[in-house]
Structure 1
């Protein structure tokens, strides 16, 4: 079993002032007894840590778990520093297990900022907690972000070194004795930053100005990376929803195309096409769809197709011409849909003037549209011939 080094060597190694240490009234022999007792206890604590780690890894949003058992020398250092900070705090061999609550330390790492809520729920339902959970945030984090933690019953504090992390002190009782363990939950970017910060500054360069300034820049980069991660998840959700909408739209367009392919269309067919167009329009934002139609095909958008049907009269040539335009637009649109959730556009270098519609590109409100159909020269010539 390892033995604790001599008092003077220990104080020098951990940069504890001899005068401050003597003022605590601590006796080195008693600290040696704690050290030796803890050395014998560590294998049991390792079993506890392993069991808790396995439980945490079963939480779906947890990316990875790390754990450690507190180093024996660091335990003695912590006891001394706590006594220096507070003279009446007595920590001895009888109570150090309950007073030092991070003998077992675990970190549950997740990918995205918003994942913390489901992890929090699982931890709270799995272990009893010794105290209120603390959420450490950066100074300047939004009120809405803070409120999300407060609504879950967490105590929110600004961390003086600027990292985001949620800390739990859990109770566990594998046998007759009760132990405490600290679980820290944070994103993978916060973990990377805190590891670098801890390696560079802890515990003896905390106030180094240069380290502090450059590590704060790294801190902000980690925070920005977290925000970008959240944005990417929102983007993925949007694209998945858009993919579903596009598949539904394509099916409806194909159904309308079959109606248009009939040799003769009656009023019921026209009504069905109009209702179909209306249903497609409600499936989602038409911006992508309109952009696709405007790029290469002679029908500006679905709302305009609807307006064509409303304006078509009894004139045979006008009716045929309008139906042809609708068919071209629908056909072009279905060919241009990318089934992976978006649209593929023709090479802009290959576009020519005839592919760009002369009619208004966007019709924001069909109820406010002019009842007179815009005409290009070819339309006028066809109407003159028909007369």
Structure 2
């Protein structure tokens, strides 16, 4: 298995639960993170070695090392004791090429998470067809799309929809974080990668400083990847956020989303988590200008945030790149906070739509994914 980044580690950990239920003695190895290691995964390299931020300077700097890891992994998988199946978990830029080479050499390949060809980079479909014996899809419309191109696929639901309760306990989350039931709480999630924090945290925190001036009693929670916690805390102080109002947490993103009234959040899997917690949100994103120009040319839909893509409308605001100024971000967040008092019907309508989405995505993902792999292997 190869899983990149925090979200891939989470997905792969849940998949390993399903595989172990089917095959209790299953041996798993490759590239992974701590959740996979908890399930007995043998990580030859840690998943953060693959984490980069778009078409960035960071990618150029790290590309040689990433390609070297892929060559070494390919040689190891094709030598001696070959695996019964290779499972690439997300990370399509790394995994699809590797999967194509392994498949050509006779190893069965599965890709877990259909690349978002329905949103951007539609040209990837040919690469997916060459690389994958089967695709495990998180969203219900994806298998039919892949089938039209001759690619086998199964809808297994989104595992986060089972991890996150249908009715999050806001009061319990607040007690756990030392907050009062009556507090007004904003969660800020500026991304989980180093380059994301560099580009996204400053405007997010400057927006938060503006919001705090308008609402001095506001409490701000900032869940941060533990390795980046100090850097995130420094960025918050540099933007003028005082420690009395702002708490930078080591992880605990789910606790922060459960506790908050609204979240200012970087585009990515975390936006789906916020939707499953039924929280109003403002989606923002920034990256290197060159990366942004490349990605915009490949975009197929008007939405970038997963909640908006799945709802088929701008259910929540998206303020991306140059549009994501501190002023605009602050105004959008204040719009949601004001709605809690002045327009509760707006909040209720959003929560109802996100509840529908939660039910649509809630499946026994570990079992369904393992069943699909068993069928592929004829085991």
TM bucket (normalised to shorter chain) is under 0.3
Return the index of the structure with the highest Cα Rg.
1
- TM-score, normalized by length of structure 2? 0.23
Greater RCO (Cα-Cα under 8 Å, separation 6 or more): 2
More helix, by proportion: 1
Q: Give the alignment's TM-score, normalised by structure 1.
A: 0.23
